[in-house]
Amino acid sequence: MIKIEKLHKSYPIGKDSLHVLKGLDLHIKEGEFVSIMGSSGSGKSTLLNIVGLLDNHDEGNYYLNGQKIEKLDEKKAAILRNKFLGFVFQSFNLITYKTAIENVALPLYYQGMGRKERQKVAMQYLEKVGLKDRADHLPSELSGGEKQRVAVARALATNPKVVLADEPTGALDSATSASVMQLLKDINREGMTVFVITHEEDIAEQTDRIVRLKDGVIISDEKVNKKVNA
């Protein structure tokens, strides 16, 4: 689903450049639930931005759903993002003046879906995340956990191939974060590929595979041994 070979990325800093990703290889198969960990500045967001077609890489290869990603113009990138990817961010990124259902329906609008159908599909996804009765609430009228559930519903609404989540529980307390993780686990169990950035070991351990990044290279890539309660 996501195949990365010898990926490099540098940022220009004045006359110099900062080499952030230094030849990454990563293969995420369809249906996997993968987390990426690493200290601040190790390149996690840089990688997610490239995987999410929000930024270009400099060298190496990136294949998304079998399609080689070359330097993209914004229009092409937006079409591919809308078709293949759903995003969940730490700060929710909901539109403050739109209700929960309008937020979920927005990516469907960009896909050209008609109003009635959008409303119907958005409501189905709100129901899926347990927020049918909050459909007409503005983000300011929702709790942190509810906002993130709306964001997950929005990410799922276009039926993407992969959900990319950047610190999805970073702004939540532990009980709320557990319910958001449960939701990600549920959608993964239904077959969705999920790729999560996290700083928290206990969040990473709830995924199936932990990739650790240090100074722009992968230093470990391990399956998580799930504890089974006797």
Ligand X SMILES: Nc1ncnc2c1ncn2[C@@H]1O[C@H](COP(=O)(O)OP(=O)(O)OP(=O)(O)O)[C@@H](O)[C@H]1O
Kindly state whether residue 218 participates in binding ligand X, applying the rule CB under 6 A: no
Please give the full DSSP string across 46-103, using - where no structure is assigned: HHHHHHTTSS--SEEEEEETTEE--S--HHHHHHHHHHHEEEEETT----TTS-HHHH
Instruction: Give Cα separations from 46 to 8, 58, 142, 168 (angstroms).
Output: 10, 12, 30, 16
Does 18 engage in binding with ligand X (CB under 6 A)? Answer: yes
CA angle 212, 34, 129 (to 5 degrees): 135
Q: Is 41 in the site for ligand X (CB under 6 A)?
A: yes
Nearest to 170 by CA among 203, 141, 194: 203
Residues 6+ apart with CB under 8 A from 33: 184, 185, 188, 193, 194, 196, 207, 208, 209
Of residues 49 and 179, the one with the C-beta less far from ligand X: 49
Query: Considering only residues 38, 86, 107, 145, which one is a binding residue for ligand X as defined by CB under 6 A?
Result: 38
Q: Is the dihedral of CA 38, 41, 42, 47 positive or negative?
A: positive
Listed ranges 11-19, 86-94, 117-125, 128-136: which one lies at the site for ligand X (CB under 6 A): 11-19
Q: Does 43 interact with ligand X (rule: CB under 6 A)? A: yes
Give least dist CB 40 to ligand X, A.
3
Instruction: Decide whether 40 or 140 has the Cβ nearer to ligand X.
Output: 40
Closest to ligand X by CB, 46 vs 176, is 46
Determine the Cα–Cα distance for residues 161 and 81; give it in Å rounded to an integer.
10
| Residue among 108 and 210 whose Cβ is closer to ligand X | 210
- Minimum Å gap between C-beta 83 and ligand X is 25
Please say which residue, 39 or 67, places its beta carbon nearer to ligand X.
39
The reply on whether position 45 binds ligand X by CB under 6 A is yes
Which residue stretch of 40-48, 152-160, 178-186, 188-196 sits at the interface with ligand X (rule: CB under 6 A)? 40-48
C-beta neighbour count of 111 within 10 angstroms = 15
Which of 2, 7, 35, 46: binder of ligand X (CB under 6 A)?
46
- Residue 176 as a binder of ligand X (CB under 6 A): the answer is no
| By the rule CB under 6 A, 204 interacts with ligand X | no
CB 95 within 8 A of CB 76: no
> Given the rule CB under 6 A, which residues bind ligand X?
11, 13, 18, 20, 38, 40-46
